[in-house]
Structure 1
């Protein structure tokens, strides 16, 4: 099965993934490129897709090829969240430029590793060069397990991020130096497995301090066995998930650990800290509302958090009630696919 999936994916996309040098170029905008898509299972959904001409080609089952027009860029990161009423998880396989477009391949599975069709939300972002004045902190890593090195990284403070495998199988220490916050935990994270076979990653723990951010990422096979794999991680603090300044003016994030995390992990770009709300927590379902930031088009990403093997997705695409963005609901599951009251991080970001 592993060889078959690999062959199919190679046939789908032949572009190679660019490898960034350790030090970024001298002068570039933040970001160089970004794009996102909401795939409804049969077609893209305009309210959650940018650029509007983005396309998704489905096939084989559970494998999707996304074309983001005009957004080709070197390196960068991809994050993806499954959207389904049952237990599903999605991951990135590869991405890279094809002419002026960015091509991203996504793979989605159900517990046990069977590839399964599902709706999903995905985004791509690439940054380089000095950030200039921004309102908060932003950084990312794309770690390659085969080489033990970073294929790409960005740090708005100009420092070099690092990823170090720990003695525990499938657990990685991620350092984002210079992304200074007061601590003990501030901002938000998203993490996504990168592999051609079913895998998933989560944030096991993280801490913040004036020296930067320190996180541990834990990765697993589809059956919950600790697993060495490539992954992406993005950190945001008072910045959008693709690192841009204002605009976008409408974004927010929230950490459910459970219960809801401290005010610095609950941010709304229009209303400040500790105003996004979570209700219905329990039995693995949580309704999350972001007031005043529901401006189209927008994107929502969810990552699981905690020391266990749980994973999380969205039951349905997010909706809007006036200018309130409503995620109904974030659903979390144990390895076998039963609902579990697990922690998660959710980030909502408009293109405006």
Structure 2
């Protein structure tokens, strides 16, 4: 490096800043070396993260909420700071049309699920979701069996994940697919890439590599996403494998005809419905397909879930996990255009939670049908 000799005049105006020039040069070189070392060595924990990154859930307990309504505080929570002081709010936009405002978790992509909570035949679906300011707004529409919009109570969940879990317990993944089978958003806790292939009208095959076990284990939830028309979706078939999970998603319109729409699907094994594991310490799921396969019947307390009721409704009992704030969802399983929801809000008693699940066939007739049910506390 060429160094100029300072003139005597320059030496007479010598300053502290110029005297520290060599020191700053050394510090700059040291900083560059530190940056190179940081790039060469992995930062502790950089490859792992809390999963999910951002999430929130709520239960709209008033089907005709006033503007800025705060739904049941014991059945809503989220990953943002002070959710009890900064709650989810719901506005009604029209007959059967709502928007849930989740604060401070916007812009993360993710997926949403909704489940009708109604003693008569209704279904609720996602219209769309979007970032608004720093929050995430999830738009929910509810319908009668005829396809006419109608007011209803419902549960709604938004969640977004990235990276690999800091606690590598179980597995988790989700897909948001358009009607043609293009994956719009996806997550897989193994970092593998989920995919979708399109079948006939209203049929898609979802592939989640690396998740779950070779036998039936875990839980699915599926929700139709359509801003234009009423639709309901379900898991019509499930093929577990040692290399991953295959689920067939089937969607129908209000006339029970197969229908091409967008949809969200999530899969969790030893993880809560929104992707977390330990915490929350209190969650569970159950799959009824005519029997109760052992590894699809999970309770984080180690207790055994049970299924009672006649099917109108069923009653899923999960001991030792009832901790508010909490949420629950249900999805139909099997062939045909049936759909399932919750008959009423879940009941907590002495640590036990009971989920009343009702399912409906063509025309909204109550039926005893297979389903997936999931419950989680925030804690």
TM category (shorter chain) comes to 0.7 to 0.9
Distance 2:250 2:211 in 1: 22
1:264-297 deviations in Å (ceiling 9; x for gaps): 000001115xx10111134x42011110110110
Q: Which residue pairs with 2:170 in the alignment?
A: 136
Structure 1 residue 180 displacement after superposition: 3.8
1:308-337 deviations in Å (ceiling 9; x for gaps): 11111111100101110111x211111201
| Structure of larger gyration radius | 2
Find 1:241's aligned residue among 270, 273, 277.
273
Q: Is the 8 A contact 1:74 1:96 kept in 2?
A: no
Structure 1 residue 28 displacement after superposition: 4.8
Equivalent positions of 1:101-250 (< 5 A) are 101-145=135-179, 148-166=181-199, 168-183=200-215, 185-196=216-227, 197-250=229-282
Structure 1 residue 73 displacement after superposition: 3.5
Structure 1 residue 92 displacement after superposition: 0.4
User: How many residues were matched structurally?
Assistant: 320
Structure 1 residue 206 displacement after superposition: 0.6
State the TM-score, normalizing by the size of structure 2. 0.82
Structure 1 residue 245 displacement after superposition: 2.5
Q: Which residue pairs with 1:68 in the alignment?
A: 102
Structure 1 residue 26 displacement after superposition: 6.4
Structure 1 residues 268 and 27, CA gap change in structure 2 (3 angstroms): closer
Q: Which residue pairs with 1:304 in the alignment?
A: 332
Distance 1:132 1:47 in 2: 28
State the TM-score, normalizing by the size of structure 1. 0.88
Instruction: Give the ranges of 4+ consecutive aligned residues of structure 1 lying more than 2 Å apart after TM superposition.
Output: 25-29, 130-133
Structure 1 residues 240 and 73, CA gap change in structure 2 (3 angstroms): farther
1:133-192 deviations in Å (ceiling 9; x for gaps): 32101000000126x4111100001100001111x2101000000114131x11110000
Where 2:295 maps in the other structure, the secondary structure is: helix
Structure 1 residues 305 and 180, CA gap change in structure 2 (3 angstroms): closer
Distance 1:135 1:37 in 2: 25
2:372 aligned with 1:333, yes or no? no
Larger relative CO (CA 8 A, sep 6+): 1 or 2?
1
Q: Is the 8 A contact 1:311 1:335 kept in 2?
A: no
2:325 aligned with 1:291, yes or no? no
Indicate the structure with greater helix content: 2
1:73-98 deviations in Å (ceiling 9; x for gaps): 32111011001111000000111211
Q: Report the aligned-residue RMSD.
A: 1.5
1:20-62 deviations in Å (ceiling 9; x for gaps): xxxxx96653111000001012451111111341000012010
Distance 1:244 1:198 in 2: 30
Distance 2:110 2:275 in 1: 12
Q: Is the 8 A contact 2:283 2:375 kept in 1?
A: yes
Find 1:256's aligned residue among 288, 294, 297.
288
2:280 aligned with 1:280, yes or no? no
Q: Is the 8 A contact 2:212 2:218 kept in 1?
A: no
